[in-house]
Structure 1
Amino acid sequence: MDAVQGTLDELGTPLHEVTFVVFDLETTGGSPAEDAITEIGAVKVCGGQVRGEFATLIDPGRPIPPFISVLTGITDAMVVAAPKLPQVLPAFLEFIRGATLVAHNAPFDLGFLRAACAEYGYPPPANPVVDTADLARRMLTRDETPDCKLATLARYFRSATEPCHRALADARATVDVLHGLLERAGALGVHTLEELRAFNRMPTPEQRRKRHLAEGVPAAPGVYVFEDAKGEALYVGKSTNLRNRVRSYFTASEARPRIREMIGIAERVRTIVCATALEAEIRELRLIAATKPRYNRRSRFPERAVWLKLTDEPFPRLSIVREVKDDGGAYLGPFGSARAADDARTALHETLPLRRCTERLGPRARRPACALAEIGKCGAPCEGRESREEYARHAALARRAMEQDAGMVFSAMEARMRRLADQQRFEEAAVERDRLAAFIRAAARMQRLRSLTAIPELIAASPAAGGAWDIHVIRYGRLAAAGVMPRGAHPTPFVDALVATAETVIPGPGPTPAASAEETECLLRWLETPGVRLVRVDGTWSLPANGAGRLRARIERACAGIPGDRPRDGRPMR
């Protein structure tokens, strides 16, 4: 019997022979267990050619929440005559039979599809799945695209269809993104479906060559720093086991393009052993902020935080600033961008008649009022229509909304959104939604931060391996000391010794007086972990009873699927 040499194509399915079904779902919310599908759009492609399309609205069998109508542009009136999901699902499952499924952020859409199959007695789809968002994160660098949202990638690959936030249009845009990514993959030697799904999972020659950099790394919690030949920090990370984590950078599990690029430059790995995992997390944040490694994406510039300030003057106004001063002003933040701060400021302006002019007004200032006074948006203190005492009531309400009770802002903005939605002005309603979300998120975050940063000293403990305890001393929201108390040790002398050697922390002004907001949030997450026990608290740890935190859950449910600060499209982005 003669041996026959197989072809390369026999090693996998060539991509030009694969039938892809690119699909997108619109829903009433973000939870497959609680929400329903309102629209399906899908495009079948093979060899770069469209073979068919599938599109239908679906009656979810329940009212579409007003917030979701704002997000998706789909109203109850649009779906009243649409088929219900049990009528649509069999046809869609037949449409995708034998195809490779493609979606942008596939877990979201697949979660709803699988939940629908389970509810109506169909087996879950066993199709191979390709996630264009995941592919883009592996193939594209941050220098090429700032993020991997569908709209961003559609612009980058010059899609013929602009995502307009309806299922079929988004599926068509995803087709163009898929083809752009497949072209990029082909240049990287990926020619089969199997290679595509396993893309970037093999270590590069450079990774294999530099495995020696992981030698001698201790198996302990701490921080690691990849450095170049000049000793400049390239990347900072943390781990509960430094040895295992650093070794992983030289294996197939490390598939991020920018990190593989970093490994090609790195000449050494410096490690800093920490007492606890929490200390390692905090030291990582501080080192990133101090050294600003070029391959770290987050936490590099805490000094760029933006604040919304209610000034301390006879007629206070709202100002966007980059520095917190001890000047009697009330501060809201920090915000990730001036745009988000401006959204929050507008939400307050839409709720309260605070002046928007920038000059300082004295008690006796007199000048003509602007147009805002004529439409009821300002009490015109500049013209003397409001006294200092009358205007002070507006400023006091603004300060209360920022620091204690955001209910007034929430109610006013929600009513405004409903009016706009009732008038079918969904884009405008989406703008108002974003402004409210920016305010509520910032107020909830700041109030949560202040609950800890107002405490001079807090000592807490959590169980550790082998019966030991991780002990941490926190002062004004800053980690001042960390230690591990061995099993059987008497806690009082151990804690007293840790406190005596802890960092002396002198607080500055503002809601984050001694550490970055990220550090304080990291400490709060640890404090809220099950099993953590308070040892000693110098002060009171509490949140405002009517604080913004109680409203944030409603905002996030309404904005389910929106990761950014400022979507302007009336639909959740994925």
Structure 2
Amino acid sequence: MEYAVQGTLDELGTPLDQITFVVFDLETTGVSADEHAITEIGAVKVRGGEVLGEFGTLVDPGSPIPPFISVLTGITDAMVTAAPRIDSVLPSFLEFARGSTLVAHNAGFDLSFVRAACAALGYPAPGNPVVDTVVLARRLLTRDEVPNYKLATLAKVFSRTEPCHRALADARATVDVLHALIERAGSFGVHTLEELKGFVRAPTPEQRRKRHLANGVPGEPGVYVFEDDRGEPLYVGKSTNLRNRVRSYFTAAETRPRIREMVAIAERIRTIVCSTPLEAEVRELRMIGSAKPRYNRRSRFPERMVWLKLTDEPFPRLSVVREVRDDGAGYLGPFGSTRAAEDARAALHETIPLRRCTERITPRTGRPACALAGIGRCGAPCEGRQSVEEYGLHAAAARRAMELDASEVFSAIEARMERLSREQRYEEAAADRDRLATYVRVSARMQRLRGLTSLPELVAAAPLTNGDWEIHVVRYGRLVSAGVMPRGAHPTPFVDALVATAETVVPGPGPVPAASAEETECVLRWLETPGVRLVQVEGGWSLPIGGAGRFRARIELAYRSRERYGDREGRSRR
């Protein structure tokens, strides 16, 4: 006779409504746990949907808080002067979290700071189970429901609490997001903590059923294209090993909801073998730009890029345009949106008193000046107060700031931000921060691109582990030929053959005259990898000594932490 045996609690798992979760968030002086410090800890303890307690405190980091971080969080040096140090706060937080499951949005970031503090103070790192709401959201929500998985975006859908980069408020918002995601997971039969962890990792039935599509894929570098039953491309990707990459789409490693959806409707996979990984990367970009597969989001519409133009006229002005022409004007870009170009224009206008009216004016133009002249923000050339030569000094400064030297703009706006932050006018400071960041990022990017795109031809080589050599030919920033030279082969005839058979390029105007900005950046990344050697270069390759690149690291320090959530106003701008 057989008897039914009831499973133990360990076998059944722990029901989610019986789990004690401690949902926590940190604010810090930067993004590296090894170099930066905690400025605030906020945590909420919940079980069965009920709040059991809260923990919140500012923390004295022991060093000045950078201005960009103060603008981001609203936490200033004055606020943490009387706050306890981390050696007093950490034991209380660890006790509050003892015996619970830790939850955070992008948990790896917050836990890295907790572990670093524990190591510095001699405490064992917390061994609590961890749930990351970012990972869970990616498994449960599609891009049709939310545009991204930042806390600000999810909170708009699931919470009445608006994240504001203050630790306790963000932790409260994360509680609501957690509960909503757990409820969503219940519709998939997930009711225990163990099932929740397994659900995040498990492949879908469609992924398992479509595994045969990866059969016969070669293990070489190249591009792969998922196609539907009509042969239309759904998704284009690239890999240094096509076989391994394509197979990963049918395993638990692929957790992106949108890609899992794509796999469910794919009927075949087409592959294009390439000579080198760089050629594969460039081919991927070109195919995405031409075919615009609906499951590729990156670079889907390169034709929508816009530029900031310093017009070529007696009294130049800054104009947002969609086309670069060979007209002697100055250009900054490309920008991903008109809004981004307008932000950069605002940063330049904040520093340089260019006119903002749109009419074309000449030395003979005579009309009343606008209000900007009255507050000293424009020299009123329309009224005849400035000559072409006097105004030309401002136009030259603007072109220099766009193409060569970002220091004047950066210094002026940083000083204004610090003043606004001291006056607790954080919204205005945040607006300045965003404008400055957009200007610095795009200016640094354009200067890097221009250094390469000005070269009529460049040939470079990189050694492979087996003794072969990757060789690429680049003209005006465009990859025109790629090959692998066998070990021991004479380089001169091989390079000559690659150059002779390379694509002919007739450059157009502007900083990216022959390829997309993304393609040229791919080439630059390869050129900057260790071991790459220049074989021959036509022309001079350089960057401006006062360029925007030297300011970019300071910008990114503040923004890498912001990107976990969105900005203070809840917008999801890049």
Mapped to 1, the partners of 2:406 and 2:374 lie a distance apart of: 27
Matched, 1:479 2:475: no
1:141 aligned partner: 142
2:401 aligned partner: 401
1:513 aligned partner: 513
- Measured after TM superposition, the shift of residue 554 of structure 1 is 1.9
Query: Superposed, which structure 2 residues align to 1:528-567 within 5 Å?
Result: 528-563=528-563, 567=567
Question: Which amino acid is the alignment partner of residue 414 of structure 1?
Answer: E
Contact 2:464 2:470 in 1 (8 A): yes
The range that moved more, 556-565 or 291-300, is 556-565
Matched, 1:234 2:203: no
Contact 1:68 1:571 in 2 (8 A): no
Q: For each residue in 1:205-262, what CA deviation from the matched residue of structure 2 results, as whole angstroms up to 9, or x when unmatched? A: 2222222211221111110101111110000011111122212222222222211211
Contact 1:438 1:565 in 2 (8 A): no
- Measured after TM superposition, the shift of residue 431 of structure 1 is 1.2
2:20 aligned partner: 19
SS of the counterpart of 2:201? coil
1:451 aligned partner: 451
1:492 aligned partner: 492
1:439 aligned partner: 439
- Measured after TM superposition, the shift of residue 571 of structure 1 is 12
Question: Which amino acid is the alignment partner of residue 525 of structure 2?
Answer: R
TM-score by length of 1: 0.97
Count residues with an aligned counterpart.
573
SS of the counterpart of 1:224? strand
Contact 1:86 1:120 in 2 (8 A): yes
Q: Provide structure 1 residue ranges, at least 5 long, that are not aligned to the other structure.
A: none
Mapped to 1, the partners of 2:307 and 2:297 lie a distance apart of: 22
Question: Which amino acid is the alignment partner of residue 14 of structure 1?
Answer: P
The range that moved more, 523-532 or 556-565, is 556-565
Decide whether aligned partners of structure 1 residues 250 and 67 sit closer, same or farther in structure 2, where only a CA change above 3 A counts.
closer
Query: Superposed, which structure 2 residues align to 1:272-311 within 5 Å?
Result: 272-311=272-311
1:110 aligned partner: 111
Query: Superposed, which structure 2 residues align to 1:314-353 within 5 Å?
Result: 314-353=314-353
Contact 2:155 2:162 in 1 (8 A): yes
Contact 2:190 2:199 in 1 (8 A): yes
Matched, 1:36 2:37: yes
Q: For each residue in 1:117-143, what CA deviation from the matched residue of structure 2 results, as whole angstroms up to 9, or x when unmatched? A: 011100001111111112112211111
Mapped to 2, the partners of 1:433 and 1:564 lie a distance apart of: 17
- Measured after TM superposition, the shift of residue 2 of structure 1 is 6.1
1:379 aligned partner: 379
2:247 aligned partner: 247
Contact 2:152 2:566 in 1 (8 A): no
Question: Which amino acid is the alignment partner of residue 438 of structure 1?
Answer: T
Decide whether aligned partners of structure 1 residues 292 and 7 sit closer, same or farther in structure 2, where only a CA change above 3 A counts.
farther
Mapped to 1, the partners of 2:405 and 2:375 lie a distance apart of: 26
- Measured after TM superposition, the shift of residue 322 of structure 1 is 1.6
1:430 aligned partner: 430
Decide whether aligned partners of structure 1 residues 568 and 122 sit closer, same or farther in structure 2, where only a CA change above 3 A counts.
closer
SS of the counterpart of 2:535? strand
Mapped to 1, the partners of 2:283 and 2:333 lie a distance apart of: 23
Decide whether aligned partners of structure 1 residues 273 and 144 sit closer, same or farther in structure 2, where only a CA change above 3 A counts.
same
Contact 2:225 2:270 in 1 (8 A): yes
2:412 aligned partner: 412
Matched, 1:185 2:190: no
TM-score by length of 2: 0.97
Q: For each residue in 1:530-574, what CA deviation from the matched residue of structure 2 results, as whole angstroms up to 9, or x when unmatched? A: 011100100111100111111111222243413399835599999
SS of the counterpart of 1:559? helix
Mapped to 2, the partners of 1:205 and 1:568 lie a distance apart of: 40
Decide whether aligned partners of structure 1 residues 406 and 259 sit closer, same or farther in structure 2, where only a CA change above 3 A counts.
same
Q: CA RMSD in A?
A: 2.0
Question: Which amino acid is the alignment partner of residue 166 of structure 1?
Answer: R
- Measured after TM superposition, the shift of residue 525 of structure 1 is 0.4
Contact 1:306 1:336 in 2 (8 A): yes
- Measured after TM superposition, the shift of residue 160 of structure 1 is 2.4
Mapped to 2, the partners of 1:85 and 1:571 lie a distance apart of: 32
Mapped to 1, the partners of 2:573 and 2:54 lie a distance apart of: 22
1:312 aligned partner: 312
2:91 aligned partner: 90
Mapped to 1, the partners of 2:268 and 2:559 lie a distance apart of: 44
Question: Which amino acid is the alignment partner of residue 247 of structure 1?
Answer: R
The range that moved more, 92-101 or 252-261, is 252-261
Contact 2:60 2:83 in 1 (8 A): yes
SS of the counterpart of 1:437? helix
SS of the counterpart of 1:176? helix
